[in-house]
Chain A
Amino acid sequence: MSAAALAWRQFRFERRLFWRNPSAAFFNFLLPLVFLLLFASVFADDEDQLAVLIPGIAGMSVMATTFSALAFNVTFLREQGVLKRVRGTPMPPISYFGGLLGSAVANAAVQVVLVVVIGNLLYGVDWPRDPAALVLFTALGVIAFGSLGIAFSHLIPNFDSAPAYVNAVFLPLIFISGVFYSADSLPAALEAVAQVLPLKHVVDGLAGGIVSGEGLAGNLTAAGVLAAWAAVGVAGAVRFFRWE
């Protein structure tokens, strides 16, 4: 089988097993939706707040389904010896990780669609003004956060400590990146921190696609920062990779 066919097979395998893992399914799908429903219900009459919240939750979902999920997954697979065992077979690493990453990307895509659909049907947010920008920034987000998640797993010593490591990054980042409220209302120092990290730029790009209709041209800086983080993530994931 070609490397591409094996990657596709690995992807389908990951999809099948994903649904057998209730806690992964919960954290990937339900938790962001619970956040969405709670916050959106509070702000249901405030169009400006919803315009922040819908792309914000979509951006958070991109990070949760790729960065957090892959950091957990790869740590687990390494600790269980699955990575080492796969390395002993003719399966090309690119196929294996392609399938793994593809599965995370599928979750991210489904989640972004769910957030947009719920935003429209339940809260009357318009359909995306610029779907191409929505797709583009979702793609930039999954590449950056997916590779950063794999790279980050190398810093996690064992699976027991994985939630602490992942949440130490995830929770502060969602609070300073304009997920629940506009990042403009943050103290200048925190906003400056958010500016150099990727999540705010995913949220800005998604906001352009969903709410304002601002495409790539209006969010060139965001795209540039995400591309830079994607490069850091890929380099880190490859350079520091540990099979065991």
Chain B
Amino acid sequence: MSDAAIRVRELRKAYGGVEAVRGVSFDVERGEIFGILGPNGAGKTTTVEILEGYRERSSGEVSVLGHDPQSRARDLRERVGIVLQSSSFYPRATVREAVEHFAAAYAHPRDPAETIVLAGLAGKEDARGGELSGGQRRRLDLALALVGDPELVFLDEPTTGFDPAARRTAWGTVQALKDLGKTVLLTTHYLEEAQALADRVAIVKDGRIVAEGPPGELTPSHARYRVSYDSNGRRVEHVTDDPTDLLHRLTSDALARGERLTGLAVSRPSLEDVYLELTEEAP
């Protein structure tokens, strides 16, 4: 048995004749935030739902906290918290009732009142599920996933539909999970989210992992620095593998003409470049 929280080898899942997941392998170490990033329909949710025990795989090996999730062992469900992509709870139950009710299902729950605060719902204890805003309902999802004090938390697109401020708050909560020593598997189609939260990222496309590593170390096959400046009222942009020569030439020419390069900016290749390069459709 490996020490990794999650171990996936050559995972495949077909629906009818269509393969949604086509041979995915990765490990998630204990205590890390692992992001699965990809466009809609790339197979993110299918992969995560197999790990959560909701779907049966077609082939491959999967181990979650030492269990095969397909066995649906109660011990595994005691140790895992799940935030589904879309779900809700009894709309007429209050936040407190819902969290306390879920807590009872676990052998070693976290204190419900404290969990509500951790999820960012302090002051909403007596609000009914149906009265919460979209973002608050998502936080209730999170509270229900955390009340069992899980070692491993699955977050399937936790901030889809959030405004930027709510997203920042949610990111703070995910960071807090890491500080508590939890392992987090996160899916997202937001680059900034993967960049801000994940220790390591796997980029998936068409059911395959096309790149994997810490977000800062993923680089496109061509370095693609972007050099841009204003010239005669419009923005000029160059893309280059090596900005040194280019900058030298640009600045020398400008100085020779007695001009300034206003608005000069040099940007390093970002996760976005990697992502776009890897996920763009073949011509």
Residues of A within 8 A of B (CB): 1, 6, 9, 13, 16-17, 20-21, 80-82, 84-85, 87-92, 243-244
B166-193 residues at the A interface, CB under 8 angstroms = none
**B85 (CB) vs chain A CBs: closest residue:** A81
Query: Is B90 touching A85 in the complex (CB atoms < 8 A)?
Result: no
Whether A90 touches B88, Cβ cut-off 8 Å, given contacts A1-B105, A84-B54, is no
Chain A contacts for B89, CB-based, 8 A: 80, 82, 85
Query: Is B101 touching A13 in the complex (CB atoms < 8 A)?
Result: yes
Whether A89 touches B77, Cβ cut-off 8 Å, given contacts A9-B104, A21-B92, A84-B54, is yes
Chain A contacts for B54, CB-based, 8 A: 84, 87-88, 243-244
B113-127 residues at the A interface, CB under 8 angstroms = none
Chain A contacts for B271, CB-based, 8 A: none
CA of A203 to CA of B54 in the docked complex: distance in angstroms?
Answer: 42
Query: Is B93 touching A81 in the complex (CB atoms < 8 A)?
Result: no
Interface string of B70-83 (1 = CB under 8 A from A): 00001001101010
B218-269 residues at the A interface, CB under 8 angstroms = none
- 22 of the cross-chain contacts (CB-CB < 8 Å) are A1-B105, A6-B104, A16-B97, A17-B93, A80-B87, A80-B91, A81-B87, A82-B87, A82-B88, A82-B89, A82-B90, A88-B52, A88-B54, A88-B77, A88-B80, A88-B82, A88-B84, A89-B105, A90-B74, A90-B77, A92-B74, A244-B54
CA of A223 to CA of B93 in the docked complex: distance in angstroms?
Answer: 39
8 residue pairs, one from A and one from B, having the closest CB atoms: A81-B87, A88-B82, A91-B105, A20-B92, A90-B77, A85-B87, A89-B105, A80-B88
CA of A20 to CA of B92 in the docked complex: distance in angstroms?
Answer: 7
Nearest-CB distance from A241 to chain B (Å)? 14
Interface SS majority for chain B: loop
Interface SS majority for chain A: loop
- Contact for B105 among A6, A82, A243, CB less than 8 A: A6
CA of A17 to CA of B87 in the docked complex: distance in angstroms?
Answer: 19
Chain B contacts for A6, CB-based, 8 A: 104-105
Whether A90 touches B87, Cβ cut-off 8 Å, given contacts A9-B101, A13-B101, A17-B92, is no
State the total of A-B contacts with C-beta under 8 angstroms.
59
Whether A89 touches B148, Cβ cut-off 8 Å, given contacts A6-B105, A9-B104, A84-B54, is yes
Chain B contacts for A88, CB-based, 8 A: 52-54, 77, 80, 82, 84
Nearest-CB distance from A230 to chain B (Å)? 27
Nearest-CB distance from A7 to chain B (Å)? 11
Nearest-CB distance from A100 to chain B (Å)? 11
**A17 (CB) vs chain B CBs: closest residue:** B92
CA of A89 to CA of B107 in the docked complex: distance in angstroms?
Answer: 11
**B76 (CB) vs chain A CBs: closest residue:** A90
B133 at the interface (CB under 8 A from A): no
Chain B contacts for A87, CB-based, 8 A: 54
Query: Is B107 touching A90 in the complex (CB atoms < 8 A)?
Result: yes
CA of A88 to CA of B87 in the docked complex: distance in angstroms?
Answer: 12
Chain B contacts for A92, CB-based, 8 A: 74
Chain A contacts for B97, CB-based, 8 A: 13, 16
B86 at the interface (CB under 8 A from A): yes
B26 at the interface (CB under 8 A from A): no
Query: Is A90 touching B101 in the complex (CB atoms < 8 A)?
Result: no
